[in-house]
Structure 1
Amino acid sequence: MRNILFFVILSHFFLSSAQTDTEVYLFDISTENNELKLTNQRNISNNPGYDNQPYFYNDNIVLFSSTRNGQTDIAAYNIRDNKIDWISNTLEGSEYSPTKIPNQKAISAIRLDTTGKQLLYSYDFETGKPKVLLENLVVGYHCWYDKNIIISSVLEDQSLSLVVSDLKNKTNTTLQKKIGRSLHKIPNSKFISYISKENEQWEIKSLDPISGETKKIINTIPGAEDMCWLLNGTILMPKGNIIYKFNPKTDKNWSLFYTSIDLGLGNITRISTNSISSLLSVVSDVSPERIVQQQLDAYNARNIDAFAATYSKNVKVYYYPNKLSYEGIDNLKKGYASFFENTPDLHCEIKNRIVYGNKVIDEELVLMNGEKIKAVAIYEVENGKIAKVTFF
């Protein structure tokens, strides 16, 4: 009866939301019964804060931007050795969107200085030595067509423009206004793909950087703009907790590939694959369960600062169904600080836990002052913090 009641309660709280604390995950891509499967999931960043924009330097190294010591540097994850090395350590700025430069042991990345200056740099893969690539363009995102031609999303007039830069001839040509961030070489072709935002319905288009010719491939999933190409010509595009797939050669419409719930992840925002499509990397918001577990660990340690750090500034605490008990982080700290101080035997044990979307529902057995008390708590996580708690 106890378990039945617990699961009946869950039906009131099945919603989802996004968070900002992100991690980079890696999967193997395999084929089973002519269907693509994702296996061997691992967290390759495993780092508090911002970890994003994965790119395969080769079939053994994944580049990504990662926060450390208050700045964002370029990390290089070695798959074989399960080890992270750092390419950059720029004290006067941070790096984003690392990308391999063709025919060089070097990468390119956007550097945002503490002064606000933003330029595209190259970095020697071994030494990390930087060099400006494009002097006068505020590049937001980029990809390489060949060793001399860069395709960029450039910040102009408060939006992004599609610019083709020829390093050899030192020219920059703007081809279109209002584009997205996702730029990729299309496998087995001479084309680049980009997201056009000229119309209300965004479109994936192909570009011939030499002639400037463009052609529509398909409309994006509404509101989505990140994607990658598999070697067989399939496009993968995530939105929220779903990854969609579409192959222009065989498909008429988008179809479901995976959901983040299937993978045990949160909201998926970025996606990347290696050159032979044997590996897939995605960026996901940190799962609500991790935030709630951090809260529980701090509770059991009676550490008020660590406990409060898991809650949003305007957290609201209710008694079921909707009776507001109190609101705000200051009130939460005031109540729990004295509670922690006066309850030396305090300990919470989780008897049951369900995670769905942005909600974590815990059935708890709490020891306090020699007594054990049963409770159910529903934690709702938004932007990486607990924004609402409902107690039963």
Structure 2
Amino acid sequence: MTLRVLLFFSIISQFNFGQTNTEIFLYDIEANNNSITVSNGENISNNEGYDNQPSFLNDERLLYSSTRNGQTDIAQYFINYNSKVWINFTEGGEYSPQKIPNKSEVSAVRLDTDGKQRLYRYNLSNGESTTLINDLVVAYYTWSNDNTIVSAVIENENLNLFSTNINSGTSRKYATNIGRSFHEIPGSNLVSFISKENNEQWQIKSINPSTGETKLIANTISGVEDICWLNSKTILSGKDAKLYKLTLEKDNNWKEIADLSSLGITSITRLAVNPSMTKLAIAGSISVESQTNETSTQNEETETIETPAESKSEVSDIEAIVQRNLDAYNARDIDAFMKDYADDIKLYTYPNTLRTEGKETMRKGYKDWFDRTPDLRAFIKQRIVIGNKVIDEEQVTANGQIFNAVAIYEVENGLITTVTFIQN
């Protein structure tokens, strides 16, 4: 194993895997003048293992890294429907998922099974991935715009700051000995990063990715390197279970605004705010007692729920089945596609016109469709989960044409039993 890979494991272990009981918490946040209120906190990951590195895809969707079957993958959480789907199905582990500006794609750091660590892009409609940066070992990063990445790169046992132009494939190093927290500063073309050049006092600095010009913004809370911007003047950070804010040109020092220990949080790490500044996502370590209580509560709820298909975990399973089926559709893999359907599958045109019945009939029709449509792609514009039903609003590309459709999937015992199509 190479030194670079060993170093990556060291960095990930220090900052991530060392937090064995990390969860993602979502709060409402409201800022009035110089006052900030945080309320209605909820553990939305509720998952054994590693859940960390949240970032918002938009106001209603949240991305984060989450453990699935012993591997870290990209989860997409739908706030309005309290449900989760998986974006990718690679053999490697993904970290730091973020939306790529102005594209229906996300990016993530991936540690592949061959030991190599790269930054990838992922198509949201089918999960297909391609490499973004080949020649740098990126550990942490953010997008300055849809063509520029500012990142912490592993070099000789250090993290150094690089700015990379994706179109030209060129990178420049602008700073050394930095931390893991990168954020676009609202209302500017600047990116904030954590400078660790002064070991006794870490600092928040800004950088212009085009010129490399850096400026001091503020000192961090002692020993803390995770921040996020609430707006162009206010920075949020956390230490232990307490949340702090620093409003530039107003506050002389960090001010405590909330104690989040009521949900069992013992240590706040990553933070993210949605575009409209109404939701705050936090990754936090939780106490063993809190985790035990959550498990006990979940078990009690499972025993009393009369319609288990409506529980959060089952909704996630149902949604994952439909997403997996969509991935197979986009890959035109007829065998993988048909595995998710019941033997007596029925396809309807809305409201109740039967199109086909039975798995073999459906297979023949879709096999011909896949063979005749090399550019076939379906992109999910919206998804709603109600009980055992998943309702997808889709934009479909086929033979150079683009059309919109709605598909209503019904899932029973792990298989899709009916699909109803509404097409324009």
Matched letter for residue 280 of structure 2: L
1:165: Cα distance to partner? 0.2
Matched letter for residue 254 of structure 1: W
State percent identity of aligned pairs. 47
Q: Which residue number corresponds to residue 86 of structure 2? A: 86
Secondary structure at the counterpart of residue 143 of structure 1: strand
CA contact (8 A) 2:264 2:286 kept: no
1:247: Cα distance to partner? 1.3
Q: Taking structure 1 as reference, are residues 274 and 225 closer, same or farther at Cα in structure 2, changes over 3 Å only?
A: same
CA contact (8 A) 1:260 1:267 kept: no
Q: Which residue number corresponds to residue 344 of structure 1? A: none
In the superposition, the TM-score normalised over structure 1's length comes to: 0.68
Q: Which residue number corresponds to residue 198 of structure 2? A: 199
Q: Taking structure 1 as reference, are residues 295 and 54 closer, same or farther at Cα in structure 2, changes over 3 Å only?
A: closer
Q: Which residue number corresponds to residue 321 of structure 2? A: none
Matched letter for residue 156 of structure 2: D
Matched letter for residue 199 of structure 1: N
Distance 2:163 2:123 in 1: 23
Distance 2:258 2:293 in 1: 26
Q: Which residue number corresponds to residue 284 of structure 1? A: 284
Q: Which residue number corresponds to residue 29 of structure 2? A: 29
Distance 1:199 1:75 in 2: 36
* Gaps in structure 2 of 5+ consecutive residues: 1-17, 298-424
1:32: Cα distance to partner? 6.4
Is residue 2:152 matched to residue 1:168?
no
Distance 2:98 2:194 in 1: 19
Q: Deviations over 1:223-260 (max 9, x none)?
A: 10011001252101112222221011322211112223
1:293: Cα distance to partner? 4.4
Matched letter for residue 131 of structure 1: T
Q: Select the structure that is richer in helix.
A: 2
Q: Which residue number corresponds to residue 177 of structure 1? A: 176
Q: Deviations over 1:329-388 (max 9, x none)?
A: xxxxxxxxxxxxxxxxxxxxxxxxxxxxxxxxxxxxxxxxxxxxxxxxxxxxxxxxxxxx
Q: Which residue number corresponds to residue 329 of structure 1? A: none
CA contact (8 A) 2:185 2:232 kept: no
Distance 2:290 2:36 in 1: 29
Is residue 2:144 matched to residue 1:139?
no
Distance 1:99 1:291 in 2: 28
CA contact (8 A) 2:63 2:76 kept: yes
CA contact (8 A) 1:19 1:267 kept: no
The residue correspondences of 1:1-392 to structure 2 (distance < 5 A) are 20-31=20-31, 35-91=35-91, 93-200=92-199, 201-261=201-261, 264-293=264-293
Distance 2:206 2:34 in 1: 28
Matched letter for residue 188 of structure 1: G
Distance 2:202 2:253 in 1: 15
1:295: Cα distance to partner? 9.7
CA contact (8 A) 2:149 2:163 kept: yes
Q: Taking structure 1 as reference, are residues 216 and 294 closer, same or farther at Cα in structure 2, changes over 3 Å only?
A: closer
Q: Taking structure 1 as reference, are residues 295 and 128 closer, same or farther at Cα in structure 2, changes over 3 Å only?
A: closer
1:116: Cα distance to partner? 1.8
Secondary structure at the counterpart of residue 140 of structure 1: strand
Q: Deviations over 1:130-157 (max 9, x none)?
A: 0000001100011111111100000011
1:35: Cα distance to partner? 2.1
Distance 2:32 2:149 in 1: 37
Matched letter for residue 75 of structure 2: A
Distance 1:278 1:179 in 2: 30
Give the CA RMSD over aligned residues: 1.9
Q: Deviations over 1:250-297 (max 9, x none)?
A: 222111122232554221111111122110000111333234548989
* Gaps in structure 1 of 5+ consecutive residues: 1-17, 298-392
Q: Deviations over 1:40-80 (max 9, x none)?
A: 21211111110000000000000000001111110000011
CA contact (8 A) 2:263 2:290 kept: no
Q: Taking structure 1 as reference, are residues 214 and 47 closer, same or farther at Cα in structure 2, changes over 3 Å only?
A: same
In the superposition, the TM-score normalised over structure 2's length comes to: 0.63
Of 280-289 and 69-78, the range deviating more from structure 2? 280-289
CA contact (8 A) 2:120 2:131 kept: yes
- Number of positions where the alignment pairs a residue of Structure 1 with one of Structure 2: 279
Distance 2:33 2:274 in 1: 22
Distance 1:291 1:77 in 2: 21
Q: Taking structure 1 as reference, are residues 296 and 141 closer, same or farther at Cα in structure 2, changes over 3 Å only?
A: closer
Matched letter for residue 214 of structure 2: T
Distance 1:296 1:67 in 2: 20
